[in-house]
Amino acid sequence: MARTDFRLLSVVCIVFSFFAAGCGGGADQNEVLIGEYSSLTGTTATFGQSTHRGMLMAVDDINSAGGLLGKTVKLLTEDTQSKPEEAATAVTKLITRDKVKAIVGEVASSRSLAAAPICQSNSIPMVSPASTNPQVTQKGDYIFRVCYIDPFQGEVIAKFVFNSLKIRKAAILKDVKNDYSIGLAQYFDETFRKLGGEVAATQAYSEGDIDFKAQLTALKAFGPEAIIVPGYYTEAALIVKQARELNMTMPFLGGDGWDSGKLIEIGGMSMNNTYFATAYTADDPSPVVQKFVQTYKTRFGEPPDAMAALGYDAGKILFDAIGRAQSDDGARIRDALAATKGFVGVTGLITIDPDRNARKSAVIIAVNDGKLSYKETIQPD
C-alpha cells in the first residue's frame, strides 16, 4: 500500500491531500458530528489510513440512506501520528472543541488506552475498530470495540501452530513497549503450553528498532520450529527479512498487527512461509464482503485490508446504534451499542458481549510468493 503524505497546515485544522476528512468548527442543527482519531502518519500509518477509508465509506452509506435522526453525518478526523500522547490530545480536541457525539478509534491498543479514559470521563461513546488488548474496554462502560480480543487471538495463533502446523517448539520475539504485543505474546504462550507445546525462549525489541539480528541469533540457538512475532508490520517484516539472512527458514507468525500492504513491500520474498491471524479475508464469497471489496477497490484503487473492513464495521455499528437509540445522547448511544446482537458486518457476525467486546471468529492468512491467501477460520469456543 502506498503511503500517503499528510502535512499539518495549521494548529486548528489538519488538511489531508488525499482523504476528504472534516475539520473542527462545530455542527449546525442539521448535522450529527462524529469524531475519529487515527494514525494517518507515523510508524503505523497504513492502519489509520485504512480505517479512515472504511469510516468514509460508512459515512457515505448512512448519508446516502438519509443520514441519522433526520440529519447529515459529518466526520471530523484527527491524526494521532502513531503516538499515544497525540491520541489523548486528539480526542480532547474532538470532545471539547468540536462537541462530537461519539468517537471511532484507534487501531493500536496503546493509543486507545490513552484516549479511552477521556471519552469515558466525558460520557462520549468510543468504538475501537481494532484495539485487541483486553484493558481497552475495561476503561469504562462507554468504551466498545468491533474486533476480537488478544486472549482469543493468542489462542487462535497457538491452535494453528500446534494443530495445523504440527509444531511443538516455538519462540517469541515481542515488542516490550507495546501493550498489544505484550498481551498477545502472553496469551499465545499460555495457550501453546496448555496444548502441550514448549516456548523455548523469548526475546524483546522496541518499536522503531531496525536491527534484530542479536535477538534472532539468541533465539536460533534454542532450535525453535516456529517464531512468534506479535508486533506491527514494520518491525515484523524487518525481523523476518533479517532472520532469513541468518538462514532461519522456520515459519514466522503474527497477529492482526501484520495486516498491511507494507508487510510484503518491506519484507519481499523473505515473507514466504509466514502466517498471521486477522479479522477477515477479501476472499470471503459472502455478498456483504464482496460488495464492500468491490466498492472499496473502485473508490481507492486497491483491495481493502482488515483494518479498512474493521473501520467500516465500527462506523456501521455506531450508526446503527444511534439509529436505534433515536438520539445523539451519549448514554442512550452507549445503551444501544451494548444491545448490539447479530450485526451482519464485513468482518463477520458481531455481537457485543457484556464486557463490550465483539464475539466473532478469526482467520489465518498465509504469505507466499508475495501474495496473501486464506488458510483457515478459527471460531471462538
Is residue 302 in some structural domain? yes
> Final residue of a domain: which of 278, 305, 340?
278
The answer to whether 370 and 268 are in contact (CB under 8 A) is: yes
pLDDT of the residue at 335: 98
How would residue 27 be classed by pLDDT, with cut points 50, 70 and 90? low
pLDDT of the residue at 50: 97
> Mean pLDDT across the stretch 60-88?
98
Q: Percent of the chain, pLDDT > 70?
A: 93
Is residue 1 in some structural domain? no
Q: Residue 15 pLDDT > 70, yes or no?
A: no
Q: How many distinct structural domains can be found in the chain?
A: 2
pLDDT of the residue at 29: 87
Contacts of 182 (CB under 8 A, 6+ apart): 174, 175, 176
Statement to judge: residues 144 and 155 lie in one domain:
no
The answer to whether 234 and 262 are in contact (CB under 8 A) is: yes
The answer to whether 276 and 252 are in contact (CB under 8 A) is: no
Residue with grid cell 475495561, as numbered in its chain: 138
> Mean pLDDT across the stretch 341-363?
94
Residue with grid cell 475501537, as numbered in its chain: 128
pTM of the complete model: 0.84
Which domain does 252 fall in, by range? 151-278
| Distance of alpha carbon 45 from alpha carbon 183, whole angstroms | 22
Question: Cell digits for 163?
Answer: 494443530
The CATH number of residue 144's host domain is: 3.40.50.2300
> Per residue in 95-138, pLDDT tens?
999 999 999 999 999 999 999 999 999 999 999 999 999 999 99
| Distance of alpha carbon 40 from alpha carbon 37, whole angstroms | 9
Statement to judge: residues 167 and 274 lie in one domain:
yes
Sheet holding 102-104, edge to edge: 72-79, 31-38, 102-104, 126-128, 143-145
> Final residue of a domain: which of 278, 309, 339?
278
Statement to judge: residues 200 and 308 lie in one domain:
no
